[in-house]
A and B are shown apart, each in its own frame.
Chain A
């Protein structure tokens, strides 16, 4: 069984179901990517795994424990971290304070983790006393990911981390994500840029209208002619 698994999730906002028997899983040290057309419920599936929306059928398991009933805050305490697509920093707080807030739940010394994040994102160390709201789009995204890493999570969930950044920054971010995964974290992410994302993915999920359409390794999906034709533009 996978380390984190959302099994047979059905649910949505209000009375309308967006997800239909959707299953998403990720193993330790793996990168799992959710791709699919607009409105396929990619972000919704991610939010369901994190407990930000109610599912009436299915369950979420983390390390063999059923966490379906837990609030998002409680999941943070269990070692899950989530980086939203937008509004993912505290704009009027400094970079360092942003990172501190990420470690809000921790009572131990956070300086070690802080140093690790600065090693991962050297630019943040330079700008640590600057307000996060004043940074460029790519740098903000680094703050957002850095904040999530401060809890020392076991699973990192990213909702379209490369939305709205330049292609160069996008490549940098993908490299960083690989680096992070190598430290033993599981990464679950939603990506608009399916091709690059599947390239680095150990596992890929193609969702269509809230259902699993294809599930395979990233490499296999890239080579699957159906997937190529329908979702990767040939």
Chain B
């Protein structure tokens, strides 16, 4: 079948492109690109589950990825005992009062009849609960933040293996998705889009400002790794033996080796997610999802509970994005809240899904690879192009300096153009739905 052949050839070309980078630039770079390609592919799979299976437009990918990042940090770093001592109880108490407040508000909502009285009662309960929560929470967080602020100033985490954070990141993202989905699903698609945009901005604002939890813009660096450190490798005898056997320099090879370890771990996750997504897509559940997407009215008439199904699929997709977010932070080895940019984390993923082929898991994976590859390679390309354009200009000209300086912003335009061109001329993407290898 020529379709399958074409699809396979896409992946072959993609592999070749990465090999070319390895040969021409460096294997280190090729592997960093590969690792981020895999993570992008997983994120794209998550978005594809929402968009491709159910037609849900999630503009908050960044927020769900950031929650994954938060999980990676919270699970892996050791707790700061001193901070726990001064503020731990306060923070926990704050959480308890917050939960009690929410429970009380829900109880009031359920037990009173609709009307002004209920509205007033809920406002009173919320205000009171909020005031109490703040009064226990604020002193505690202040105390925590003043504990050695230059190096800690936060509670730290649980000191558990960082790999554990991948599923936990998924759970965090799933919980956030439940809240947003519960409220906005069942309304126009636009509302879901705007609500997800909102929640992602808020999640990132929280990461930036809740210093007691994340150190905010001071970042948490040096997260524990699931793979060995380069320096340790260079000192182990078996590694040096391996290098001698391969005839490579230990310093270069150690970083390649570490990246290969990550690539191995990530590939396992990618394959598992891909397998499960494909399995789900081909199951009766997947067929039902597509039936709902293609004709909401008649599915509704058939008695399918569309809102519940949409909520399910929205949470599932967000979980996958959360897992990928945790993996990304693991790879980076640090949580840097300021690095969460919507253009990079939300809209780039969308370009991947649309270009790859909406509704097709293989397409999403391919899109993740292709777009990330070009996103990375577009920068040197843009600078090269600008150099070419400005080559004849006066070296001191302000325009030349400006053009060279602005080359990086060309990437945004290119991505927008790719998105629009695909949407217009090949709306089904590189690997259209229903054409994948079966």
Q: Do chains A and B touch in the complex (CB under 8 A)?
A: no
Footprint of A on B, CB under 8 Å? Answer: none
